[in-house]
Amino acid sequence: RLPDMSIGDMWAQISGLRTGQKRLIEICGKYGTRTVDQAIERLIQNSAEFSRSQVGQIPDGIYTASGMMDKDIMGNGPFPIQVKVTIEGDQMYVDFTGSAPQTKSPINVAYDGLVSAIRSVFLACTDSSQNVNDGVFENLHIKAEKGSIFNAIRPAAVSCYYESMQYAQDLIWQAMLPVVEKGKLTAGHFITVGAYSISGTHSVTGETFVDVGPTLGGWGAGFDRDGDSAQFCTGDGETYNIPAEVLEAKFGYRVTEYSLNTTDAGAGEHRGGYGIILGHEALNDDMTFSGTYGRFEYPAWGFEGGKEGAPSGFDFLLKDGTHVPLQGTGSKIQMHKGDVARMVTGTGGGYGSPLARPAEKVAMDVKNEYVSIDAAEKIYGVLLEPETFAILGVTDERKKFSEKAS
């Protein structure tokens, strides 16, 4: 990042700390430090008690999940990962032993980052609406082997730590979905921060710019609803979606497309949310693009018969008409005037069999151009009239499914 872009962030942090200091001094002056200390301790104790009661509602047992992380930018991998979650009374033990060793590429996460990710999904498994303090996590115990991709040690590269951080969280998500209260967790989501960096010279001002941004994507479906579309991943909730006009004015490239990626969204009784397609066209030579997108090789998972989603990545439409296919990672890729970089993010996993999706919803999906008529028949088992999208009937496969379900 450039200094003039970072200085505002730094002063915002300083201002936040100064404001916090001021408020703490004020409250101590009003009630006395002893009362404030006691109140803090009471809040922590109350939170710990509530957290223990929440975990105590989860059935005792050992719950596991395993998978693969995508290859890194150096071509290493894919990386095997696994987790064992043990519920014993009101305690939760999370163990990543057996996951891949740390790699030379910057996708490793240090232990503190791992803890942060697991705390988020822990809240989702218990009660995400509670006030958060140290007491909430008193009964959460996290283990990962030192030197592994989930507990990297110096001199491991960690600048893209969020990719392995998200995968660690997703493992627990998969392991706990079948046993926590319905509605607390969904099918798999697109998982990746989808971070890209574009640098170059502004086409109007001539100044050097660096655009660093995350990318929206599709979340998994729930047991009672379709997945959310075009949202940031779980590891990037503090970021805002920036309008195309602002991007163009600030960075001097052209936004050629900002649309939903409806390709292969996780089909199901409730379908996964859609990703996005975001195109940036270079308006002068020598722009440079870098990007890292998880789930390029391993799309979001479905649940209870729901289908998996589509992968994330980026591709290029060059000025001469050449299409450079989708890829998951790339560093310092040169762009010239007229070239378009497209970020194409993944879709969420489906929940429940596609053959159980109401025919009326399938017809509406086709009418809204989310699903093709061909997919409506082959995947959902619904026959539609091509012009009006009226429901003509259902396939034999859907009939058999309905008879079996009833």
Residue type for position 274: Y
- pLDDT of 3 > 90? The answer is no
- The secondary structure element, H or E, covering residue 10 is helix 3-31
SS (H, E, C) 252-274: CCEEEEEEEECCCCCCCCECCCC
Q: How far apart are CA 157 and CA 243, in angstroms?
A: 32
Strand positions, DSSP E, 282-327:
287-292, 313-317, 323-327
Q: Average pLDDT for residues 141-156, to the nearest whole number?
A: 97
- What's the pLDDT at 6? 85
Average of per-residue pLDDT values in the chain: 95
- pLDDT of 175 > 80? The answer is yes
- pLDDT of 264 > 90? The answer is no
The HSE-up count of residue 214 (CA atoms within 13 Å, CB side) is 22
Kindly list the distances between the CA atom of residue 359 and the CA atoms of 2, 267, 399, in Å, as whole numbers in the listed order: 53, 13, 12
- What's the pLDDT at 95? 98
**Length of the chain, in residues:** 406
Which position has the token pair 């960690």? Answer: 158
Of 66-75, 117-126, 236-245, 266-275, least confident by mean pLDDT is 236-245
Closest to 276 in 3D by CA, of 209, 196, 203? 196
Q: Is 112 exposed, middle or buried (0-12, 13-18, 19+ CB in 10 A)?
A: exposed
- What's the pLDDT at 272? 97
**Which of the four pLDDT bands, split at 50, 70 and 90, describes residue 395?**
very high
Closest to 336 in 3D by CA, of 298, 285, 294? 285
Cβ(44)–Cβ(38) under 8 Å? no
- What's the pLDDT at 366? 96
**Which of the four pLDDT bands, split at 50, 70 and 90, describes residue 239?**
confident
- pLDDT of 289 > 90? The answer is yes
pLDDT tens per residue across span 121-130: 999 999 988 8
- pLDDT of 73 > 90? The answer is no
- What's the pLDDT at 235? 82
- pLDDT of 238 > 80? The answer is no
Question: Which DSSP symbol is given to 94?
Answer: E
Residue 138, SS3 per DSSP: coil
- pLDDT of 237 > 80? The answer is no
pTM recorded for the entire structure:
0.92
- pLDDT of 1 > 80? The answer is no
Rounded to the nearest angstrom, the gap between the alpha carbon of residue 59 and the centroid of all alpha carbons in its chain is: 27
**Which of the four pLDDT bands, split at 50, 70 and 90, describes residue 263?**
confident
- pLDDT of 240 > 90? The answer is no
- What's the pLDDT at 92? 98
pLDDT tens per residue across span 74-117: 889 999 999 999 999 999 999 999 999 999 999 999 999 999 99
Q: Average pLDDT for residues 227-232, to the nearest whole number?
A: 95
Q: Average pLDDT for residues 334-359, to the nearest whole number?
A: 97
- The secondary structure element, H or E, covering residue 391 is strand 391-394
Residue type for position 395: T
- pLDDT of 347 > 90? The answer is yes
Handedness of CA 235, 238, 244, 246 (dihedral sign): negative
Kindly list the distances between the CA atom of residue 67 and the CA atoms of 266, 301, 302, 380, in Å, as whole numbers in the listed order: 18, 11, 14, 28
- What's the pLDDT at 158? 94
Q: Name the residue ranges covered by the structural domains of the chain.
A: 10-184, 186-352, 355-405
**Which of the four pLDDT bands, split at 50, 70 and 90, describes residue 172?**
very high
